[in-house]
Structure 1
Amino acid sequence: MTGAGEAPTGPLAGRTALVTGGGNGLGAAIARALHAQGAAVVLAGRRSEPLQQVCAELGARASWHACDVADPASVAALAEALADVEVDVVVNNAGVAGPVAPLTEVSVEEWDEVFDVNVRGVFLVCRAFLPAMVARGRGDVVNVASVSGKRPLVRRTPYAASKMAVIGLTSTLAFEVGPAGVNVNTLSPGPVAGPRMERNFRLEAERTGVTEAAAEEAFVSRSALGRMVTEEEVGAAVVAMLAMPGLCGADVDLSAGMVA
């Protein structure tokens, strides 16, 4: 479903960006930021309703497709649906948080679900859309990882391991397609203010017997800015990365100075 309207303006006018996990949270924020700079955006995700809602909000130059990034057939169907669209920006944002538990209590099914979405999904989407970018000699891929891939996150081993895998995938892929003019980078946000972190603070409060406010304060006190980052800041970071043509193989830390 595509909106129609005025001719786009802005530094990204004429470009089309695919954003996975685009129906809510960081994906929706990234889509809004790209759209505000003139890009046409294609939102992909497993649930149609939130994708439709974001597209209705954006209006012109926004479209959506249902897609499970962990499913090869679903990703292939998405690529086929967009075969006539020059997708020259791919933001691999789709991801799951996974269990909050010691490694010894994590089931094989929970582990596999995290890696299927967070790592396999990035692989499948890159494999589907990179050949056209390489053939055109230009394009950008931004893989959303996390500072948790580089720093300890107790009781979140599957998530931390999956995000480190994304960082490794990105750094290697940059050398494979960089010579063809395609930039591949990682954006590693720190904790982002919103429902997911509120859930984590609630669980931490239950585990330690403190209030949720105290759990949050203890957490944000570890950052240089004394706060979490916002979804809007993550969207702005993606736009900024696309404005730096020399950025390739990089891992951009956006964490308000969060330390382990």
Structure 2
Amino acid sequence: MFHSSARSRVPAILAVVTLSLFQPAREAAAEVVLLDHFTGSSGSVPAGWTDIGFDANPASTIVESGTLVTINDTRGNGGPQFMQSSAFAATEPLSLTVDLASMSGSGPVSMAMLGGLSGKGLMVRFDGTSKNFTLALTNNGGSIGTFALPGGTHLPSYSSGTMSYTLVADEDSVRLTSVLDGFDSGDLAFASVVSAGVDSLDDLGSSLGLLLGTEASTGNPGDLATVAYDRVELTGTTAVPEPSRALLALMGLVSVAVRRRRIP
């Protein structure tokens, strides 16, 4: 039989084991996948990025200077000007924040895409002229369907200066927000874009890239549009390791047994 002092400890041990079984799991931890303040002053494409622009016009450039990277695109010369990051593993949810310093020129459009120009992707476009977002699924760089965003002008108070937007993508939905004017798309299911054949973030692939770009959407051929990017941050979420509930329970019971053997 247990000694009386051992018996007195049993309820406490069992209480700890019981609590461990019913405690909520620890929250997942955010992990920075990519963070760039564009402070390299390279005078060209920032380190860790590749110029994949379609525009061969000499005026279509990517220039990192000071604390910005400025992407210029000329209208009617083959397509938007892009740069692409190195590939990273797709973990969910993914949260992408893009900070703009300025937009100017001929119908400037800021473009940010998770994915790649080969295969499927998720693209945000912000048109500095209409002050509206477009959120689309893409295949090989072309839109294959758009999400239904709130009506009206999304950022009516935007002029041409600083602004930021955040895209969060989890297993089966996306959400686009901006602090400016309190824009919030709400949760939008991947499956709501019925023609795209994308039902989850996994359908974009296990390895993704981040593309940033500029498009001149209005004006005459050769007119220039400029978007200056101040910062991009991409975070993923990883589970925090923790002992299993069953293991905690077993440890508690072993502790009781050990105490029993040691007490005459």
TM-score, normalised with respect to structure 2: 0.24
Greater strand proportion: 2
* Higher RCO structure, 1 or 2 (CA under 8 Å, sep 6+): 2
> Per residue, is there more helix in 1 or in 2?
1
Please, what TM-score do these two structures have when normalized by structure 1? 0.25
